[in-house]
Amino acid sequence: MNLTQNRSSSFQSWLLLIAPFFLWGTAMVAMKGVLSQTTPFFLAGIRLVPAGILVLLVAWSLKRPQPQGVKAWLWIGIFALLDGAMFQGFLAAGLTRTGAGLGSVIIDSQPLAVALLSRWLFGEIIGFWGIIGLGFGVFGIALIGLPQEWFESLFSAQSFSLTLNNLDLLNSGELLMLLASLSMAVGTICIRYVSRYCDPVVATGWHMILGGIPLFCMSGIWEANQLIGIDLQGWLSLGYSTVFGSAIAYGIFFYLASEGNLTSLSSLTFLTPVFALSFGNLFFNEVLTFWQWVGVGLTLVSISLINQRENIGKTLHYFLVKLLSLYKRTLAKLSSTI
């Protein structure tokens, strides 16, 4: 009976762990057609502010404490600036200048920054297998999101060189996507400090509201006709992305980030493009190429290596000790017979 309960609890914990990345991936699919019906900054704001209000209502119903004191609001403000306004703002601006594939690769490489910052600030051990796993993950999402011609042109050095020369980082959206990735990484680190002074779920709600207000202001100044082109399907997609892709996903993610290992949790971000590709294939008949299937496989291997990095090291050490012991006993027997 206890074994069954433990298995059920473990399965529920696993579902909770991957839920944010499943919701982010499916929200990307839901938002695919909406960007053509509205404007980027308005879209970013509408994903944050209503979701933040919803999170605060849930927190209020659960009687979670509101922020108290200057330090709590200061950290929430920093959190809102980094993960709210800057991340969503750079992301929205970058989407208008770069392809979704290349943009998603840059965004989803942020576990590297999280791992390095967590090692420096909190002493989290990455380890050899963790480093290998991060490398597999970045290469995997590169195979998923980058133009397939890039990898085919690896067999032709001259062609690949020309492709890279055509990539002007400063005059395209890649730099904005990189800034978005770094903003999200630092925001993920920031939640550890926020949770020292405020409930992480409540802080998530407030940071979405405070971070979304500047985006609405920028939309009001630089954009027009934000609502005219949105049809019923677009509003349904916006609703899904706001409620599930923002409120629920961010609430779970930052709650877990406030308590768990940031390197392991952030590595699951590699799953986001996998879910996006899978549901894009299901709803839009998008066909995965050979390189994308390889990327999906490497991504799953990466997550396994990162999250099991300590167990892998212990298991290998155990077998090496056993092998060395067997070797010594064999030598001893050979010596005795001689």
Q: What is the pTM of this model?
A: 0.76
Domain ranges of the chain: 18-307, 313-338
What is residue 164's predicted lDDT score, i.e. its pLDDT? 47
**What CA–CA distance (Å, rounded) separates 244 from 86?**
21
**What CA–CA distance (Å, rounded) separates 25 from 252?**
15
CA 310 to chain centre: 22
Element containing residue 274 per DSSP (H, E): helix 271-284
- Greater confidence (311 vs 249) lies with 249
Residue 150: is it exposed, middle or buried by C-beta count within 10 angstroms (0-12/13-18/19+)?
Answer: middle
Task: Read off the pLDDT of each residue in 7-29 and give the average, rounded to a whole number.
Answer: 79
Q: Return mean pLDDT, the chain.
A: 79
* Window from 62-76, 114-128, 164-178, 285-299 with minimum mean pLDDT: 164-178
Q: Name the range with the highest mean pLDDT among 6-10, 181-185, 261-265, 280-284.
A: 181-185
Task: Read off the pLDDT of each residue in 265-293 and give the average, rounded to a whole number.
Answer: 71
What is residue 276's predicted lDDT score, i.e. its pLDDT? 72
Give 149-204 pLDDT, tens digit per residue. 666 666 555 454 444 454 454 455 667 777 888 898 898 899 889 999 999 999 99
The pLDDT of residue 282 is above 90 = no
